[in-house]
Amino acid sequence: MARILTVTLNTALDLTHHVPRLVPHASHRVTRVTERPGGKGLNVARVLAALGHDTVVTGFAGGPTGEVLRALLAAERPVDALVPITGNTRRTLAIVDASTGDTTQLNEPGPAVSPAEWESFLLGYESLLTGAEAVALCGSLPPGIPVGAYAELVRRARTAGVPVLLDTSGEPLLRGIAARPDVVKPNADELFQLTGSRDPATASADARRKGARAVVASLGPDGILATTDAGAWRAAPPSPVRGNPTGAGDSAVAGLLSGLVAGLSWPDRLVRAVALSAATVAAPAAGEFSVPVYESLLPEVHVTPHPTHP
């Protein structure tokens, strides 16, 4: 299997609490708690590893929370190439309401990263690109990281000849897309913020003009829209899947990367991405997916050509 590198500059310890019913201003008895190494790129790596890919994770981890994150990561298959920092890794809290299946997400800010820590990361990143067959740049930027960080990382990946997927938002996405990543994967809101258009097809065409070689837009329960040099397609599960959506977008990224390194066509990559995303909604914790749901959905995902906008 190909080696895939994922970058998570703002890692997190993901905590998921399950309650019978979430009621504002009330005390709750928690029925189940799970904790996982988190942040978008770590979730992507975990899914890739479960699919059988060799994966390496890099980014930052520090403080007592970072120690817990790395201890949990050691029990999983991704290789840990995280850079230590003095700040304390953030936590995220997902509260799952069993009565509705809805999830409330609370995200802490990340720790400040010093210029010396950023330079240490860049040295390691250059080394890790050697031998990588794809790289995913995922998530938000912690304090202290330059807003153009992803643009720099895209350029270095392109110089190394490594295909790069960018999954972020806001100004980091705007700066990063100008460096011409091979794929960007915004959701509908991120695509609107980037282009000002609410129509996914129009916005995707605009994002390509801004520099992205391909745009794969997540449309929630409606699946995804991919706009590429080879054409455009909509892909969706046969019916909506209820559950915890945390990490579903990360699983879609894993599916796209898995299909890319396997040399699959764009429609086949989208089938894998949608099936993994839906199977993650059906799983109890972020960064996991239900294997039976994934396998059952693979032949059921609908992929149809979509008109491209000039």
d(CA 293, CA 298): 9
Closest listed residue to residue 96, CA positions, set 32, 17, 37:
17
The residue type at 284 = P
Beta bridge partners of 183: 165
For residues 177 and 168, the answer to whether their CB atoms sit within 8 Å is no
Largest Cα–Cα distance of the chain, in whole Å? 54
Residue from 14, 167, 182, 250 carrying the catalytic annotation? 250
Distances (CA, A) of 159 to 42, 70, 183, 218: 24, 30, 16, 28
Q: Is 102 a catalytic residue?
A: no
Concatenated DSSP letters of 148-201: THHHHHHHHHHHTT--EEEE--HHHHHHHHTT--SEE--BHHHHHHHHS-SSHH
Cβ atoms of residues 183 and 166 within 8 Å: yes
> Tokens in use for 161?
């000849």
Q: Name residue, tokens 């009621």.
A: 23
Residues with catalytic function:
250
